[in-house]
Homo-oligomer: A and B are copies of this chain.
Amino acid sequence: MKILRSPAAMTAWSEGLRREGVSVGFVPTMGALHEGHRALIREARLRCDALVVSIFVNPTQFGPQEDLARYPRPISHDRAICRQEGVDVCFEPTAEAMYPTGFQTTVTVPAIARRWEGESRPHHFAGVATVVTKLFGMVRPHRALFGQKDFQQSVLVQRLVNDLNLGVDIVVRPTVREQDGLAMSSRNVYLSPDERRRAVTLYKSLQAGAAAIRTGETDAKTVRSAMVRVIQGEPAMTIDYLAVCDPITLEPLPTVARKAVLLGAVRLGTVRLIDNMLAAAKQVRRHP
């Protein structure tokens, strides 16, 4: 496995393969790789001839009060996982290479970024959209894989690839969960053992919402109430948002006539957890 730090070397490697007709797969990460990343890497390995994983803790997507400094950076462990999974290039650009003096261009996806995570994290999605555009420019992949765990991010990336004609095939893969249902996340290490036990309540709340939809509930308020009740059963947890949304626009749905995505963010002590679940109405109503 090659470890590349230089964006120019990364591009040269990838362009060389593209000219030979080799398909390049890409999994962008912030490192601290877990089973969710591993599933993305395996899927990319199956679907592409060559495989790049980037590890870059992108400072511009963190707010000033957020966890940039303490975000886990177990680089040897991350490289070992990449090696195990047959990654060809581990791309590890520096912040200086990514954002040199004079850097100023920003990519925004305003309607997708406005709500939910965007409300709690005002500049987060501009940071994500810009760094993803840059990474795609550096890596030149045919296909890039993202986890459903960050649902709003995956919708935003698909939108920006379409809107800017970046020509990268975006694949979103299901969230990988711990045995009790907690979504895998690099930030789960912040949970104390007690918080870890309580954390699954967010998943259970989404399950309650999805169950309501599956059994015929179409009123989004009622679905949301079912979700809220579960969280309220866990006194250590506070709701940031819980919402029943259109899976494409992420706007709240009044009625679940077809598909919906249930989005949730909660706080548990000092840790913020997000998760989501797709749900389809029992019967697609022809005249909603």
**Which A residues contact B (CB, under 8 angstroms)?**
7, 11, 18-19, 21, 102-112, 129-130, 133-134, 137-138, 140, 159-160, 163-167, 249
Q: Using Cβ atoms and an 8 Å threshold, which residues of chain B touch A164?
A: 105, 107, 130, 133-134, 137
Are B105 and A163 within 8 A (Cβ)?
Answer: yes
Which residues of B sit under 8 angstroms from A110, Cβ to Cβ? 104, 106
A130 to B109, CA, bound (A): 12
Least CB distance from A142 to B in Å reads 10
Q: Given the complex, which residues of B lie within 8 Å of A133, measured CB to CB?
A: 164
Check if A107 sits within 8 Å of B105, measured CB to CB.
yes
Please tell me if the beta carbons of A11 and B159 are within 8 angstroms of each other in the complex. no
Min C-beta distance of A214 to chain B, whole Å: 28
Q: Which residue of B lies closest to A109 (CB)?
A: B105
Instruction: Report yes or no: A137 in contact with B166, Cβ–Cβ below 8 A.
Output: yes
Nearest 4 interchain pairs by C-beta = A137-B165, A105-B163, A105-B160, A138-B165
Q: Which residues of B contact A130 (CB under 8 A)?
A: 164
Residue among B103, B109, B111, B140 making CB contact with A163, cutoff 8 Å:
B103
A-B contact pairs, 25 of them (CB 8 A): A7-B165, A11-B165, A11-B167, A18-B18, A18-B19, A102-B159, A103-B163, A104-B109, A104-B110, A104-B111, A104-B159, A105-B107, A105-B108, A105-B109, A105-B159, A105-B163, A105-B164, A106-B107, A107-B107, A107-B164, A108-B108, A134-B165, A137-B164, A137-B166, A137-B167
Question: Assembly of this chain: how many copies?
Answer: 2
Assembly CA distance A110 to B166 (angstroms): 22
A134: which B residues are within 8 A, CB to CB? 163-165
Q: How far is the CB of A155 from chain B (nearest CB, A)?
A: 11
Question: Which partner residue on chain B sits nearest A163 by CB separation?
Answer: B105
CB neighbours (8 Å) of A11 from chain B are: 165, 167
Min Cβ gap A240→B in Å is: 24
Which B residues are in CB contact (< 8 Å) with A7? Answer: 165
A164 to B130, CA, bound (A): 8
Q: A11-B165, A105-B109 are in contact. List 7 more A-B contacts (CB 8 A).
A: A19-B19, A104-B163, A106-B108, A133-B164, A134-B164, A137-B166, A137-B167
A19 to B11, CA, bound (A): 15
Kindly provide the distance from the CB of A16 to the nearest chain B CB, expressed in whole angstroms: 11
In the assembly, what is the distance between CA of A171 and CA of B145, in Å?
A: 34
Residues of chain B contacted by A104 (CB below 8 angstroms) = 109-112, 159, 163
Complex CA distance for A133 and B136, rounded to whole angstroms: 13
Beta-carbon nearest neighbor of A97 in chain B:
B165
User: How far does the alpha carbon of A160 sit from the alpha carbon of B134 in the complex, in Å?
Assistant: 10
